[in-house]
Amino acid sequence: MPSSERYAIYFAPAEDTELWRFGTRWLGRDPIGGGALPQPSVPGITAEALAAATESPRNYGFHATLKPPFHLADGTDADSLRQAARAFAARRRPFQAPPVSLQRIGRFQAFALTAQSAAMDALAADCVRALDAFRAPPTEGELAKRRKRGLSERQEAYLRQWGYPYVMAEFRFHMTMLGSTRDAAVHQAVAAYLEPLAAPFAAQPLPVDAICLYRQATRTAPFLLVERFAFAAAASANRPIAKAGGRPI
């Protein structure tokens, strides 16, 4: 059985940006320091209901998945993974992705791109491929969990090859703001509150100049940002990790 520790490669806005401050305060957790942040008061939904509706994305940390969470393969270690992620980032060039807007995705709400981005799709696919030697094969239990919702033939093929069904052609960039819920009142209250506040993010491109390594110590622990790896020419060195802060949303 693999260790309960997991790693993931995410996109996350730089910690000195408004988008980072907005997302982390909405979810109520700082993925850098790990501390709780006060969530806003949302008309039409209790604080308890908001905390419950954001529990899953809060646990994963504000991010967009590039390489989904994985256990380390036998013969690999965290230091080697960090070195490989750093080398991968050093070969990439920064780019501007389309703006993000708050969008309903099934039973979720998330910041998603307002237009397709070939550069973002390529970044995610390359992350999946380049770092796959570090991924332990999924257990039968993990495979069964993925299959419970039903998978297309392509998704099943991706699950077998890459350990996750929603990669490559199934990838969709998104930063989850509301976890899975069928409660229409919660969706309505969240959208009514967030959409006006999130409007400025839809008016400017999304800078993509780094990837982030996140770590989960156990399956019940939250993911924490381990290190941000800057792309070539994005910075002379990787950004130092600083405690997130900023104005409440």
Q: Which residues pair with 228 in a beta bridge?
A: 212
Quick one: pLDDT at residue 240?
42
Does the pTM of the predicted model rise above 0.75? Answer: yes
Domain assignment present for residue 102? The answer is no
Q: Are the C-beta atoms of residues 233 and 7 closer than 8 Å to each other? A: no
The 10s digit of each residue's pLDDT in 146-175 is: 999 899 999 999 999 999 999 999 999 999
Q: Is 201 inside a domain boundary?
A: no
Q: Which of 57, 11, 30, 22 is nearest to 196 (CA)?
A: 22
Residue 195 lies in a domain: no
**What is the dihedral sign for C-alpha 186, 189, 193, 195?**
positive
Q: Structure tokens of 106?
A: 């099934």
Parallel, antiparallel or unpaired: strands 174-178 and 6-11:
unpaired
Domain containing 148: what range?
Answer: 6-96+119-181+207-230
> How many domains does the chain fold into?
1
CA distance 114 to 97: 9
Is 167 inside any structural domain? yes
Token readout for 30 is: 């700082």
Give me the phi and psi of 62, to 5 degrees please: -65, 120
The predicted-structure confidence for 185-227, as pLDDT tens digits, reads as follows 999 999 999 999 999 999 999 999 999 999 999 989 999 999 9
Tell me: pLDDT of 243 over 90: no
> How far apart are the C-alpha atoms of 42 and 65, rounded to whole Å?
27
For residue 135, the domain's CATH number is 3.90.1140
Predicted pLDDT at 239: 47
Query: Does the residue 194 lie in any domain?
Result: no
Q: Show the tokens assigned to 135.
A: 């991924």
